[in-house]
Amino acid sequence: MPRYLSILTFAAALFCGACQNSHSDSKNQSSPEAGVKPAFVAQRGTPVLDGSGSDDLWEASDWLPINQIWAGTLPKPDDFSGRYKLAWDENNLYILAETTDDVLLDVHPQALEHFWDDDCLVVFLDEDASGGTHEFSYNAFAYHIALDGSVADVAPDSSFRYFNDHCLTRRIARDNVNTWEIAVRIFDGKQYKDEGDNVPMLLKKGKKMGFALAYCDNDHSAERESLVGNVPLPNTQNKQQWLNADVFGTLELR
């Protein structure tokens, strides 16, 4: 065999080995291999929004993992681990999230500053699945849901704002495990106006949206220690790729 062919064969064998490892690592996870846009589905139904996942709807749904490091260090399971389920009806997208976090931190309660450095759950929603940047626009919303249920994001004028009426959360804490049951109202980001009379959309079967979910874990630091998401980012840590909705998964309402 010519030398260049044997090198190619060796490289191909290495690549396939990597594929197999990546596949076995992602077993039982929704997160596909790099380069494939993650696909999620939400089943139709309306849970009782009481913070408990005991609804028949939730019990019939599968857990999906929050286990992809986006920034900081990958926490050990007792430091942070998380999983979630999705559902929808005409009025809301519903998220049931279960997070295990050894220390709950809320250094900036009731304040629009450094909300990302407190423990919080972040719902990323790109209503028209357009992808693209969203940090200073409503091309997609990044709802930072704090432990007190307040919801914050960055507005187009780069100010920090509350969006408390976009996400209603009831949370139950048992030891280190928190259950968050969230109703997310969906707004058309192209029409959305600060201080405007914004009307949430009616949702229909078959609708596709860009979606991602992440948890900011801070236990004792000036800045958050970990940002862990539900989708793999192409180049891992500290590149802030979540500021572009291209990396979100696609969520279909079934």
Token couple for 247:
């990396």
Strand-pair category, 39-44 with 249-253: parallel
Q: Taking CB under 5 A as the rule, does residue 43 contact Ca ion?
A: no
Quote the least distance from Cβ 219 to Ca ion, whole Å.
4
Query: Using CB under 5 A, which residues numbered 147 to 186 contact Ca ion?
Result: 181
Residue 146: what are its φ and ψ, rounded to 5°? -80, 170
Query: Using CB under 5 A, which residues numbered 73 to 112 contact Ca ion?
Result: 79-80, 101-103, 105
User: What is the secondary structure of 9-58 as a DSSP string?
Assistant: HHHHHHHHHHHHHHHHHTTT-S---TTS--EEEEEE-----SS---SHHH
Among 11, 48, 177, 199, which residue sits at the site for Ca ion (rule: CB under 5 A)?
48
Q: Taking CB under 5 A as the rule, does residue 50 contact Ca ion?
A: yes
For Ca ion, the closer of residues 26 and 131 by Cβ is 131
Among 38, 47, 72, 82, which residue sits at the site for Ca ion (rule: CB under 5 A)?
47
For Ca ion, the closer of residues 130 and 244 by Cβ is 130
Token couple for 193:
């106006």
Residues in the interface with Ca ion (CB under 5 A) total 19
Quote the least distance from Cβ 154 to Ca ion, whole Å.
15
- State which H helix or E strand residue 3 sits in: helix 3-25
Quote the least distance from Cβ 101 to Ca ion, whole Å.
4
Q: How far apart are CA 104 and CA 147, in angstroms?
A: 8
Give the interface with Ca ion as residue ranges (CB under 5 A). 47-48, 50, 52, 55, 79-80, 101-103, 105, 119, 126, 128, 130, 139, 181, 217, 219
